[in-house]
Chain A
Amino acid sequence: MKPRHKRLAAIVAGLALIVIAAALVLNAFRGNVVFFFSPSEVAAKAVPADSTFRMGGLVEEGSLKRGADGLTVQFMVTDTAQRIPVVYSGILPDLFKEGKGVVAQGRLGPDGVFRASQVLAKHDENYMPPEAAHALSKAEAEKAAQSVVVPAAGSR
């Protein structure tokens, strides 16, 4: 073997080892690199107890209630299977809306209410002008009215 080929073989072998190692590490991480838990996981007690964690899902339509002080809000976070009530006092991001994605950080009280210290909006990857969004939601509403099948929730 020429030195050039030897070197190539050594590098290919080294790279293969790195890829395998990375794949193993990634696989181990896969379940652990969790930015937020879903309401179903929270309901199933699959989250670290007595500690701060994040919960993500959709703000349930019609569940948003504003307190008398104008700062405290209460809403349901749902993944369409489970719903968890959230109480938060503070400024909400611009994109916070009923039916849209949300990630709340806080603790779960013994009463099953999630007390959030921070609420972040999670938006989707769709960008469209307001007219198109309006037409889309109208079309969806018509479709929903025609069929009895519950439409799937938007992608997380």
Chain B
Amino acid sequence: MAIDWFRFGSPQAFFPVAGKMVPWFAFLAVAFALPGLYLGFFVAPTDATQGESYRIIFIHVPAAWMSMFLYLVMAGWAGLGLVLNTRLSGMMASAIAPTGAMFTFVALWSGALWGKPTWGTWWVWDARLTSELILLFLYLGFIALKAAFADPQRADRAGAILALLGAVNVPIIYFSVQWWNTLHQGASVSLTRAPSMAATMLAAMLLMALAAWMYSIAVALARVRSIILERERDMAWVRMSAGT
């Protein structure tokens, strides 16, 4: 079976496909978020040490996971564009960046609101918090850098270099709690050992993470469509479909 992936790599072919997928992923995001919130607030028990304040975890951890994961996906698309010179790659990277920045902000914000009652401070300059703040600046820098170029191809190339350089920061964020003394605690959920959470708490967190995943796909696809229209507005196929 041979699928011509390069055919879908063209903005013209991808545009209607993305349009068909957006409502499905938006639906899935809601379908995961509703039971996730229900489990998180009504089924998951109170935490023994933190009381109800721990319920921030159901938004904080999915947001933090997405902030790191989306950066890697964005850098991956940007790198692909650098190698293959495909038009769509740079657009995908641009479409992901604002959502990644949004999740990074939510992770930092909810972390501050969680830190105040539990640790006793809104913010500390420990390795985990500092590297996550750097991630926010990388997203914003990527968006600003791309906006600074009039020529989209040069913008893609410059953005790709920044995105790939910044990708080094992601493993630093993830492993910071193991490599250094930090105020932030270690990971509750990892691939190498059993999660250190009650089952319903874990289920709620994973559902919310899935919801964040589906939301990101829906939003990135919707955004890439408007980027395609904007960049290719002078192309014949856009003019044809616009009916001019």
Q: Is A45 an interface residue (CB 8 A)?
A: no
Q: Is A115 an interface residue (CB 8 A)?
A: no
> Given A93-B117, A120-B121, is A127 in contact with B180 using a C-beta cutoff of 8 Å?
no
List residues of chain A with CB under 8 Å of any chain B CB. Answer: 4, 7-8, 11, 14-15, 18-19, 22, 26, 30, 33-37, 56, 91-97, 100, 103, 118-134, 155-156
- Using C-beta atoms within 8 Å of the partner chain, give the interface range for chain B: 35 or more
Decide: B165 and A34 in contact? CB cutoff 8 A.
Answer: no
Q: Determine which of A34, A118, A123, A131 lies in contact with B181 in the assembled complex, contact meaning CB atoms within 8 Å.
A: A34
Residues of A within 8 A of B127 (CB): 33, 35
Tell me the interface secondary structure of chain B in the complex. Answer: loop
Q: Determine which of A11, A37, A93, A95 lies in contact with B83 in the assembled complex, contact meaning CB atoms within 8 Å.
A: A11
| A8 and chain B: residue at smallest CB distance | B83
Q: Determine which of A11, A19, A132 lies in contact with B168 in the assembled complex, contact meaning CB atoms within 8 Å.
A: A19
CB of B119, distance to nearest CB on chain A (Å): 5
Decide: A120 and B188 in contact? CB cutoff 8 A.
Answer: no
Chain B 38-64 residues near chain A, CB threshold 8 A: 45-51, 53-54, 57
Decide: A35 and B180 in contact? CB cutoff 8 A.
Answer: yes
Decide: B183 and A103 in contact? CB cutoff 8 A.
Answer: yes
> Given A127-B57, A127-B201, A132-B48, is A119 in contact with B120 using a C-beta cutoff of 8 Å?
yes
